[in-house]
Structure 1
Amino acid sequence: MAHGGSLGGLRAANLALVVSILEQAGSLSRADLMRRTGLSRSTVSSLVVQLLDEGVVVERLDRGTPYKGGSGRPPILIELATLTGVVAGIDVGHRHVRVALARPDSAIVLERSVTLDVDDSPHGSMDRVASLLDELLEESGHRRDDVRGVGLGIPGPVDREGRMTSGILPTWRGLRPADELAGRTGLIARVHNDAHLGARGELAYGVARGHRDLIYVKASTGIGGGLIVDGRLVTGSTGIAGELGHVQVDVNGVMCRCGSRGCLETEVSGPKLVSLLQPAYDEQLTVPRVLELAEAGDAGATRALNDFGRRIGRVLATIANLLNPGLVVVGGAFGGAPALQAGIRDALDRYAQPTTAAAITVVGGALGERAEVMGAIAVALDPASEAAGPADEPSRSPVAG
């Protein structure tokens, strides 16, 4: 499928539309597809030819009924091929590894998450990813050869060559996660940073379905972002677009783990939230506990989350003025907090252009902590997705989702 440019994006969207309609309707003729998609005869014919060549659809041997009961030659029906195998979605977070297997229709077969200190153990983490993947394959009765595609999310910037960059995860710097996984399993993964996959997950399966332009914010151990423009993830010239947490908000601020100074992430993060509130509470706080307090109406927790939202929203306002999104989706460990979302809303209304702010709806993500693994599945299922991987080495052919 086409990759670059607006024409490539349009064709990928049209292919996905045809597949989606066939998923809902079962078998349809080319004329039926024209009527349901609104596309021209030549466009539908070209799309069907491509899907036939890729094995995504097949022609039924028994023909359909002429349109409106006519007496002409019955049309040939097109339907999705009976696809076999599974795809794997892998989410490597700072403190966990989550792996899911899904059928080609994106239905989850098995899913498991384990707690793991990922930041300081890159090779051990990839060992655990490989072993967890093998465990799920064995339990589901599949082999590695049955895996049609793999999506892999990493909690740090990944360039277009699949290499970990910057000092955000210093022990991972220079590592190629796709190469590491391939060396352990023989499977070739499409790799993205975790916030990118959160955006893809919400776009494909969550609250952003049907939207074309949006910003995804992951508020967790750090602050990440994913940009969707015209229905496609923006990765940038080197693959690291969307580093929301590393926008400078204080030129005289403290040094950030990325090597810059005064980044948003130095002021807004899960650990920062806990450390800010801890002196005012007798109990030992955690992010989940702060969220419980805010939900119960605790003034301090609510105020802190609202302030954090305003700081995030101030940065989002500038991005919104440039991209004009219709949706801001807030996910991550504390992204679902209403006080945080309200702070983002307030800042957008104050700092973005009025018409830009008016066009934006701020919502919490629908997938919660599973957004990234579902995004990895979406990437594994999407032949048109662009992601980093082993240089000059093609992925196993995934199927259209």
Structure 2
Amino acid sequence: MGVHLNQQDIRLAIADVSHSVILEKSIEVEPGYSPQCAAAVVRDIVTVAYGVCGLDISALLGVGVSVCGPVSPGGMVQRANGMPTWAGVNISQIFGAVLEKPVFADNESNCSALAEIMWGAAAGYEDFVLLKLDLGVGGAIVRNGKVITGVAGGGGEFGHMSIEPNGGLCRCGNRGCLEVQIGVDRSLQEMSRLYGRIITIYDVSAMASQGDVGARRMIEDMAEQAGRGLALIGTIINPPLVIVSGRMTRAGDMLLKPLVAVYEKHTLMKARDVPSPMRTRVMIGKLAENDAVLGAVGLALRGLAALP
């Protein structure tokens, strides 16, 4: 089973050992909910969901949990950017005590990468990079089929690369992070003020598709900054594949084409200089809407397989 902890909802997915997804469910929760509350909500959802599916709860083998922010190999949230009160919380211990099953926890972008490996655009790839463009910016590095989490769980945190040291203050405490430079949340607030109504991340793509110049400019500006950040990553890693994920990918080619153009302008190994098999492919992921919760399922499946 996989669980994704969002600021305002908890998502759950149940799969069998053959990787077939049986059920997906989402439930809204009050912002600022506690880890203990989340564990109890998940327990209740699981009980109901297993009953709906005609399954015995004893058949639950393990749980993967996806959360915003870096997570240590032992399951502790290091810096909970999206859910600040969760910093220092050991997900594996708290959820394990309530669910009485093995619990495996990781950052949501790392889980998204696992989902793309198991069900999505990265099938057949051993090495790739994932860049997640949502209200925040995340990332993951996959090498030999495994996500590189880093010694303390901070591997692949592309959104917190300091691109402009004198730039705007980031929620992580640094300045000019890629997440700040891309500025999805800030841009949505600006558009909401200009249009006199709340503009959501879903609205932007729809408005741009209908020819709205403000929405198109917002997407182009984000693509410019994301492409520059991705070019740094490409120069360092030179991956065979880059998957762009997150809800901003609803914009499709309106986002991808300018992003790739900027990437090609600023990265070292340019497509024109190398033969086709050696070029970095940049593509939109197949699971942008539910990759984190599906990746949490994959996290549980991999974790259980590794147990003695």
TM-score greater than 0.5 by the shorter chain: yes
Call closer, same or farther: CA 1:385–1:260 in 2, change over 3 Å.
Answer: farther
Cα distance in 1 for residues equivalent to 2:127 and 2:155: 15
Aligned with residue 349 of structure 1, among 237, 247, 264: 264
Output one character per residue of 1:54-93: Cα deviation in whole Å (capped at 9) or x when no partner. xxxxxxxxxxxxxxxxxxxxxxxxxxxxxxxxxx011112
Cα distance in 2 for residues equivalent to 1:167 and 1:99: 20
**How far does residue 186 in structure 1 lie from its aligned partner after superposition?**
0.5
The secondary structure found in structure 1 opposite 2:249 is coil
Cross-structure match for 2:23: 110
Cross-structure match for 1:197: 111
Cα distance in 2 for residues equivalent to 1:240 and 1:143: 37
User: One-letter code of the match for 1:371?
Assistant: D
Cross-structure match for 2:67: 154
Output one character per residue of 1:158-179: Cα deviation in whole Å (capped at 9) or x when no partner. 1122111125232001101111
The secondary structure found in structure 2 opposite 1:274 is helix
Alignment map for 1:81-120 (pairs within 5 Å): 88-117=1-30, 119-120=32-33
User: One-letter code of the match for 1:90?
Assistant: V
Note the residue ranges of structure 2 that are not aligned, 5 or more in a row. Answer: none
The secondary structure found in structure 1 opposite 2:23 is strand
Aligned with residue 306 of structure 1, among 220, 234, 257: 220
Call closer, same or farther: CA 1:119–1:203 in 2, change over 3 Å.
Answer: farther
Call closer, same or farther: CA 1:257–1:196 in 2, change over 3 Å.
Answer: same
**How far does residue 217 in structure 1 lie from its aligned partner after superposition?**
1.6
Higher RCO (C-alpha under 8 Å, 6+ residues apart): 2
Aligned with residue 339 of structure 1, among 254, 259, 283: 254
Cα distance in 1 for residues equivalent to 2:301 and 2:289: 20
Call closer, same or farther: CA 1:270–1:94 in 2, change over 3 Å.
Answer: farther
Structure 1 residue 166 corresponds to structure 2 residue 79 = yes
| Contact 1:144–1:185 (Cα < 8 Å) also in 2 | no
* TM-score normalized by the length of structure 1: 0.70
Cross-structure match for 1:382: 302
Which shows bigger deviation, 298-307 or 281-290?
A: 281-290
Cross-structure match for 1:263: 177
The secondary structure found in structure 1 opposite 2:165 is coil
**How far does residue 118 in structure 1 lie from its aligned partner after superposition?**
5.0
**How far does residue 383 in structure 1 lie from its aligned partner after superposition?**
4.9
| Contact 1:144–1:187 (Cα < 8 Å) also in 2 | no
Call closer, same or farther: CA 1:255–1:336 in 2, change over 3 Å.
Answer: same
Aligned with residue 211 of structure 1, among 120, 125, 138: 125
Cα distance in 1 for residues equivalent to 2:291 and 2:211: 27
Call closer, same or farther: CA 1:269–1:369 in 2, change over 3 Å.
Answer: farther
User: One-letter code of the match for 2:287?
Assistant: L
Note the residue ranges of structure 1 that are not aligned, 5 or more in a row. Answer: 1-87, 387-394
* TM-score normalized by the length of structure 2: 0.90
Call closer, same or farther: CA 1:263–1:231 in 2, change over 3 Å.
Answer: same
User: What percentage of residue pairs aligned between the two structures are identical?
Assistant: 28
The secondary structure found in structure 2 opposite 1:335 is helix
User: One-letter code of the match for 2:258?
Assistant: G
User: One-letter code of the match for 1:263?
Assistant: C
Output one character per residue of 1:297-320: Cα deviation in whole Å (capped at 9) or x when no partner. 222211211211121121111111
Structure 1 residue 360 corresponds to structure 2 residue 280 = yes
Structure 1 residue 126 corresponds to structure 2 residue 39 = yes
Cα distance in 1 for residues equivalent to 2:219 and 2:280: 20
| Contact 1:118–1:125 (Cα < 8 Å) also in 2 | no
Cα distance in 1 for residues equivalent to 2:258 and 2:143: 24
Aligned residues: 301
**How far does residue 241 in structure 1 lie from its aligned partner after superposition?**
0.5
Call closer, same or farther: CA 1:117–1:318 in 2, change over 3 Å.
Answer: farther
Cα distance in 2 for residues equivalent to 1:235 and 1:322: 17
The secondary structure found in structure 1 opposite 2:256 is helix
The secondary structure found in structure 1 opposite 2:289 is helix
**How far does residue 120 in structure 1 lie from its aligned partner after superposition?**
4.8
User: One-letter code of the match for 1:180?
Assistant: I
Alignment map for 1:225-374 (pairs within 5 Å): 225-337=139-251, 338-355=253-270, 359-374=279-294
**How far does residue 102 in structure 1 lie from its aligned partner after superposition?**
0.9
Which shows bigger deviation, 130-139 or 220-229?
A: 130-139
CA RMSD of aligned residues (A): 2.1
Structure 1 residue 220 corresponds to structure 2 residue 140 = no
Output one character per residue of 1:243-282: Cα deviation in whole Å (capped at 9) or x when no partner. 1111112211222211212212223244223123234324
